[in-house]
Structure 1
Amino acid sequence: MTTPTVAEIVTFRLKEGSDPQAFAKAAEGMTPFLRSTGAMISRTLSADDDGLWTEFITWTSMEDALAAAKAMFARPEAGPVMEMIDQSDLSLRHAKISLYLPPEDHAPH
């Protein structure tokens, strides 16, 4: 596995009345595109008790992260996702990764 070099951190809130489960399912629909880039290493999507969502994607390079972010908006499967996000409360940033700990095997020994 390639060691990631860039983190993409997106925080946002859903529009009033949006169903969180429907949003998570729509967000999952972006996975085939993200995997097709060949540069995504991992992806998590979480929401806290106050309704703040965070998507965290690790990428192999800054160039790949920026290209995928730009291309994502042209994807038809992005439509349902973007329709549920409150655009006035969206933050997207990229940061170089200084420490990466790959997942450990959590299977019983």
Structure 2
Amino acid sequence: MMRHHVVELVRWKAKPTVSDARMVLAVDGILPDLEMLPGFISQRLYKDDEGFWVDLYHWETHEQGVASNDLMAPRPSFQALMELIDPTSVSIEFLSLPESA
């Protein structure tokens, strides 16, 4: 039987003066900390045509994905990333396969 994981979809806009290269470096900077968290599987960053950044995080469980936010909050790498983000633009969703899938 195949085990299904959960996808955390985080969407935001950068502050006006932040370059794409700076944002990518900051997101890359949190990866070593993310990789140490329970249930972390992978991460992939995208940017849409409207200027929103979209980060997809794969977690073993929904609970581990939710807990990651509190676990990352005090870390310097995460705080550096948050300095670049417009806080009013942030949205977080969790996606999982339906039970019958």
TM-score by length of 1: 0.81
Give the count of matched residue pairs.
Answer: 98
- What SS does the corresponding residue of 1:33 show, helix, strand or coil? helix
Is the 1:7–1:97 contact (alpha carbons within 8 Å) kept by the matching residues of 2?
A: no
Root-mean-square deviation (CA, aligned residues, Å) is 1.8
Q: Shift of the alpha carbon at 1:67? A: 1.1
Q: CA deviation at 1:3?
A: 4.2
Structure 2: which 5+ residue stretches go unaligned?
none
Name the CA distance, whole Å, in 1 between partners of 2:96 and 2:54.
17
Per the TM alignment, residue 97 of structure 1 is displaced from its structure 2 partner at its CA by 3.1
Q: Which stretches in structure 1 are left out of the alignment for 5+ residues?
A: 99-109
Identity %: 27
Residue 36 of structure 1 aligns to a residue whose secondary structure is coil
- Tell me the TM-score normalised to structure 2 length: 0.87
Paired with 2:15 and 2:92, the residues of 1 have a C-alpha distance of 17
Q: What is the CA deviation profile of residues 37-60 of structure 1, one whole-angstrom value per residue up to 9, with x for unaligned ones?
A: 141112111112321110001100
**Which consecutive segments of 4 or more residues in structure 1 shift more than 4 A?**
none
CA distance in 1 between counterparts of 2:18 and 2:70 reads 24
- Partner residue in 1 for 2:84: 84
Q: CA–CA distance in 2 between the matches of 1:49 and 1:31?
A: 25
Does the C-alpha gap of structure 1 residues 97 and 34 become closer, same or farther in structure 2, counting only changes over 3 Å? farther
Q: Deviations over 1:1-49 (max 9, x none)?
A: x944211001111011111111110110110111101411121111123
